[in-house]
A = this chain, B = another copy of it.
Amino acid sequence: MGLRVGHATRVGDGWLTGTTVVLAPEGGAVAAVDVRGGGPATRETDALDPRNAVERIEAVVLSGGSAYGLDTAAGVMGWLEERGRGTRVGPGAADVVPVVPAACVFDLGRGGDFRARPDAAMGRAAVGAAAASEPGAPVAQGCVGAGTGAVVGLLKGGLGTASTVLDSGITVAALVVANAAGSVLHPGTGALYGELILGGGRTASPPAEAHEAARQRLAEAAARNAPPPRNTTLAMVATDAVLTRAQAQKLAGVGHDGIARAVRPVHLLNDGDTVFALATAARPLPATDRLALNEVLAAGADTVTRAIVRAVRAARPVDAPGGTWPAYSELYGEP
């Protein structure tokens, strides 16, 4: 699709956070957003309303740092301005305003220092890493970038990706930062909700002994950690389909279904759940099917669910000054 992903990650000395930038090909991508959480931290989301002026955007930022982390977008704006990328607003080719939508997860204090949070320099580092990568290159997952300080229920959360190619040849991909007040685990079995829904069915539940041991470990961790005051799951659904901005907004909305199938409960007052949609507009929707968008919508929700499963499975345990978070793979093993 031509999208590039870059991470900036900082761990230790009070830090446990990071920033992830999704960089569109030059000229930008159609973008939209749907905010469903009760405690969002976002920037430039109103500009994405299909009724408003901006047609395409060059980059989206996902970051740790709660509302403070929105400063990362300034670094990405600076990087884009230097390259003359953004909405042209003056006579000179360099007279641009890059609209850089951003959303942040709450991870303050998890590394030990409440003030150790992503800033403009970290945003600049992440967009630089994105620009240095190949389009379509594998994206590092787990405790990296905006997923570095993520926590899901009592488990370590993280960043995950997934993608699928539809029969029409259209690609739908998702990148998520799983950091939720709710749980990704069926309480009775330890199965991941997302795998119960998407998986083979009978095989999704771990052995009962593993679940019993995991419950004890999680109860111990819960006794040591303060309950997180805020959370947030962020997702980006991207496709190479030709979508209008309104269609992209519908895709962002249905992306929340993918979060709901992987995290329960979700969209609470202390979640800031936000889904962006990006369309690089390379492949028209099949013209013969009035409902062709449905396939993209359904795949968007499913890739978000799958990316949350990947994020949780890729996370590694963290024992930091701000808390102790076991990882799913450590407790339940690999699939």
Contact = CB atoms under 8 A, between A and B. Distances in A.
Interface of A: 36, 38, 181-182, 186, 188-189, 191, 193, 196-197, 200-202, 205, 250, 253-254, 256-257, 260-261, 264-270, 291, 293-294, 297-298, 301-302
Contact of A253 (B202, B250, B267, B297): B267
Contacts of A256: 256-257, 260
A188 B205 contact: no
A257 B36 CA distance: 11
17 contacts: A182-B298, A193-B197, A197-B261, A201-B205, A250-B269, A254-B265, A254-B268, A257-B265, A257-B266, A257-B267, A260-B260, A260-B261, A267-B297, A269-B293, A269-B294, A269-B297, A270-B294
Contacts of A297: 265, 267-269
A176 to B, nearest CB: 16
Contacts of A301: 260, 264-265
Minimum-distance CB pairs A-B, first 8 = A265-B298, A189-B201, A257-B260, A188-B201, A260-B260, A196-B196, A268-B294, A254-B267
Contacts of A200: 188
Contacts of A196: 196-197
Question: Could you say how many copies of this chain the assembly holds?
Answer: 2
Nearest to A290: B269
B264 A197 contact: yes
A196 to B, nearest CB: 4
Given A202-B205, A265-B298, A270-B291, A186 B197 contact: yes
Contacts of A298: 182, 264-265, 268
A241 B182 CA distance: 22
A197 B304 CA distance: 17
Nearest to A299: B265
Nearest to A265: B298
B267 A291 contact: no
Contact of A291 (B188, B261, B269): B269
A261 to B, nearest CB: 6
A250 B271 CA distance: 13
Contacts of A201: 186, 188-189, 191, 205
A302 B193 CA distance: 14
A75 B109 CA distance: 58
Given A197-B193, A201-B186, A250 B294 contact: no
A284 to B, nearest CB: 17
A299 to B, nearest CB: 9
